Amino acid sequence: MITLPTLPYSYDALEPAIDEATMHLHHEKHHQTYIDKLNTALAAHPEVVFSNIEELLANLNNVPEDIRSAVQNHGGGHFNHSLFWQILAPLGSEATIMPENLKMELEKSFGSVEEFKTKFKEAGLARFGSGWVWLVKTTDGLKIMTTPNQDSPVMTGEQPILGVDVWEHAYYLKYQNKRADYLDALWTIINWQKVAEFANIK
Ligand code: MN3
């Protein structure tokens, strides 16, 4: 049985970038629903064993065909949201200060932090419909990618270190159709220390 991870901050902690009502809805309803549906799918195949959700998603071809798309959608939803909560932190908290070594990695891959942010936002805006925009670590440096629906970079062997939900449910209550404003506001609450940790950058 997979259970909903507790948020590492209170529901109103990400104001004003993400409002409290959106956080309740997003965590307690949307994320919980992915977990419920994943548990239902897995209950039909108790022979499917895995040590963590990432391993399950990285080996979708081994998942029985009748639950494969449910695991892809709801397992992906669970993994993606679990990562998303972790890479956010309250405005002004120490975690939002970018570690120097991560800054250097971003400069190496994108020229500058500002250029990275511009490209990331462009990618997030270009993702048609529902999906995610990611920063992944590769043997060739850091790269931006997007995925549709609840697909996750781990499904194609990528290592996500930052992921932003661009489904309308992530921003519609506060920003309505203005995805660009939501993406701009998020930079104030990114937990860069956690991003560096996911990238194994000390
Ligand atoms: Mn979401």
**Measured in angstroms, how far is the CA atom of residue 104 from the centroid of ligand 1?**
30
Q: What is the pLDDT of residues 89-99, one digit of tens each?
A: 999 999 999 99
**Measured in angstroms, how far is the CA atom of residue 178 from the centroid of ligand 1?**
16
Residue given tokens 């992530």 in the structure block: 170
**Measured in angstroms, how far is the CA atom of residue 50 from the centroid of ligand 1?**
24
* The predicted structure's pLDDT at residue 85: 98
Structural Rg of the chain based on CA atoms = 17
**Measured in angstroms, how far is the CA atom of residue 163 from the centroid of ligand 1?**
11
**Measured in angstroms, how far is the CA atom of residue 128 from the centroid of ligand 1?**
15
Q: How many CB atoms lie within 10 A of CB 176?
A: 11
Residue given tokens 């979708």 in the structure block: 60
Distance CA 20, CA 15 (A): 7
| Cβ < 5 A residues, ion ligand 1 | 165, 167, 170
DSSP letters along the chain, please?
Answer: ---PPPPSS-TTTTTTTS-HHHHHIIIIIIIHHHHHHHHHHHHT-TT---SSHHHHHHTGGGS-HHHHHHIIIIIHHHHHHHHHHHTB--TT-GGGSPPHHHHHHHHHHHSSHHHHHHHHHHHHHHS-SSEEEEEEEETTEEEEEEEETT--GGGGT-EEEEEEE-SGGGTHHHHTT-HHHHHHHHGGGB-HHHHHHHTT--
**Measured in angstroms, how far is the CA atom of residue 108 from the centroid of ligand 1?**
31
**Measured in angstroms, how far is the CA atom of residue 78 from the centroid of ligand 1?**
9
- CA distances from residue 15 to 35, 142, 185 in whole angstroms, order as listed: 26, 29, 10
Q: What is the pLDDT of residues 152-196, one digit of tens each?
A: 999 999 999 999 999 999 999 999 999 999 999 999 999 999 999
What average pLDDT is seen over the chain?
A: 97
pTM of the entire structure? 0.97
* The predicted structure's pLDDT at residue 202: 77
* The predicted structure's pLDDT at residue 194: 98
Answer for the pair 186, 90: CB distance below 8 angstroms, yes or no. Answer: no
**Measured in angstroms, how far is the CA atom of residue 80 from the centroid of ligand 1?**
8
**Measured in angstroms, how far is the CA atom of residue 75 from the centroid of ligand 1?**
13
Nearest to 88 by CA among 199, 190, 197: 190
**Measured in angstroms, how far is the CA atom of residue 29 from the centroid of ligand 1?**
10
